[in-house]
Amino acid sequence: MKARLPEEYRGGQAAMLQRLQKMQEEVARTQEEVENTAFCASVGGGAVTAEVNGKHEVRSIKIKPEVVDPDDTEMLEDLLMAALNEALSKADAAMEEGIQRAQGGLSVPGML
Protein backbone atom coordinates (compact mmCIF):
# COMPACT_ATOMS: atom_id res chain seq x y z
CA MET A 1 0.00 0.00 0.00
CA LYS A 2 1.41 3.38 -0.99
CA ALA A 3 1.23 6.36 1.29
CA ARG A 4 -0.50 9.34 -0.23
CA LEU A 5 0.96 12.75 0.38
CA PRO A 6 -1.28 15.77 0.90
CA GLU A 7 -1.63 17.98 -2.18
CA GLU A 8 0.76 20.64 -0.84
CA TYR A 9 3.59 18.07 -0.64
CA ARG A 10 3.27 16.82 -4.20
CA GLY A 11 5.29 18.18 -7.08
CA GLY A 12 8.85 17.11 -6.35
CA GLN A 13 11.91 19.04 -5.32
CA ALA A 14 11.11 22.22 -7.24
CA ALA A 15 7.79 22.60 -5.45
CA MET A 16 9.39 21.85 -2.09
CA LEU A 17 12.12 24.42 -2.70
CA GLN A 18 9.49 26.97 -3.67
CA ARG A 19 7.57 26.29 -0.43
CA LEU A 20 10.79 26.57 1.60
CA GLN A 21 11.64 29.89 -0.06
CA LYS A 22 8.16 31.21 0.70
CA MET A 23 8.53 30.05 4.30
CA GLN A 24 11.93 31.78 4.59
CA GLU A 25 10.40 35.02 3.32
CA GLU A 26 7.58 34.71 5.85
CA VAL A 27 10.07 34.05 8.65
CA ALA A 28 12.14 37.10 7.64
CA ARG A 29 9.02 39.28 7.53
CA THR A 30 7.95 37.99 10.94
CA GLN A 31 11.39 38.66 12.42
CA GLU A 32 11.32 42.23 11.12
CA GLU A 33 7.84 42.81 12.54
CA VAL A 34 8.84 41.49 15.97
CA GLU A 35 12.11 43.48 15.95
CA ASN A 36 10.08 46.67 15.40
CA THR A 37 7.50 45.87 18.08
CA ALA A 38 7.64 47.35 21.59
CA PHE A 39 7.31 44.99 24.55
CA CYS A 40 6.51 46.48 27.95
CA ALA A 41 6.64 45.03 31.43
CA SER A 42 5.71 46.60 34.72
CA VAL A 43 6.74 45.30 38.15
CA GLY A 44 6.31 46.32 41.75
CA GLY A 45 2.71 47.37 41.23
CA GLY A 46 3.73 49.73 38.44
CA ALA A 47 6.75 51.12 40.30
CA VAL A 48 9.09 50.28 37.42
CA THR A 49 8.16 49.91 33.77
CA ALA A 50 10.56 48.80 31.06
CA GLU A 51 10.09 48.82 27.30
CA VAL A 52 12.28 46.89 24.86
CA ASN A 53 12.00 46.07 21.18
CA GLY A 54 12.37 42.71 19.50
CA LYS A 55 16.08 43.40 18.95
CA HIS A 56 16.53 43.44 22.76
CA GLU A 57 17.22 47.16 22.77
CA VAL A 58 15.96 49.02 25.83
CA ARG A 59 13.64 51.76 24.60
CA SER A 60 12.59 53.27 27.94
CA ILE A 61 12.58 52.80 31.68
CA LYS A 62 10.11 54.58 33.92
CA ILE A 63 10.55 54.71 37.69
CA LYS A 64 8.02 56.16 40.09
CA PRO A 65 9.73 58.67 42.41
CA GLU A 66 8.46 56.96 45.57
CA VAL A 67 10.52 53.88 44.70
CA VAL A 68 13.79 55.76 44.76
CA ASP A 69 15.26 55.28 48.22
CA PRO A 70 18.95 56.15 48.48
CA ASP A 71 19.23 53.78 51.44
CA ASP A 72 17.78 50.83 49.50
CA THR A 73 19.22 50.84 46.00
CA GLU A 74 19.11 47.03 45.92
CA MET A 75 15.32 47.05 45.73
CA LEU A 76 15.40 49.43 42.77
CA GLU A 77 18.05 47.31 41.05
CA ASP A 78 15.92 44.19 41.56
CA LEU A 79 12.84 45.93 40.17
CA LEU A 80 14.80 47.11 37.11
CA MET A 81 16.16 43.63 36.44
CA ALA A 82 12.73 42.05 36.84
CA ALA A 83 11.06 44.54 34.50
CA LEU A 84 13.76 44.23 31.84
CA ASN A 85 13.84 40.43 32.04
CA GLU A 86 10.07 40.21 31.73
CA ALA A 87 9.99 42.57 28.75
CA LEU A 88 12.80 40.63 27.05
CA SER A 89 10.96 37.35 27.70
CA LYS A 90 7.88 38.79 26.00
CA ALA A 91 9.99 39.76 22.98
CA ASP A 92 11.54 36.27 22.82
CA ALA A 93 8.14 34.59 23.09
CA ALA A 94 6.71 36.75 20.31
CA MET A 95 9.66 35.95 18.05
CA GLU A 96 9.38 32.21 18.72
CA GLU A 97 5.62 32.21 18.18
CA GLY A 98 5.95 34.19 14.96
CA ILE A 99 8.65 31.89 13.58
CA GLN A 100 6.64 28.78 14.41
CA ARG A 101 3.57 30.28 12.75
CA ALA A 102 5.61 31.22 9.66
CA GLN A 103 7.04 27.71 9.45
CA GLY A 104 3.58 26.22 9.60
CA GLY A 105 4.72 23.41 11.88
CA LEU A 106 7.57 22.42 9.58
CA SER A 107 10.90 22.17 11.40
CA VAL A 108 13.81 23.21 9.22
CA PRO A 109 17.33 23.00 10.69
CA GLY A 110 18.98 26.41 10.85
CA MET A 111 15.71 28.38 10.82
CA LEU A 112 15.37 28.91 14.58
pLDDT tens, the chain, 112 aa long: 566 656 555 567 888 888 888 888 999 999 999 999 999 999 999 999 999 999 999 999 999 999 999 999 999 999 999 999 999 999 999 999 988 888 776 665 655 5
Structural domains in the chain?
Answer: 39-103 (3.30.1310.10)
The whole-angstrom separation of Cα 110 and Cα 104 is 15
CB 105 within 8 A of CB 19: no
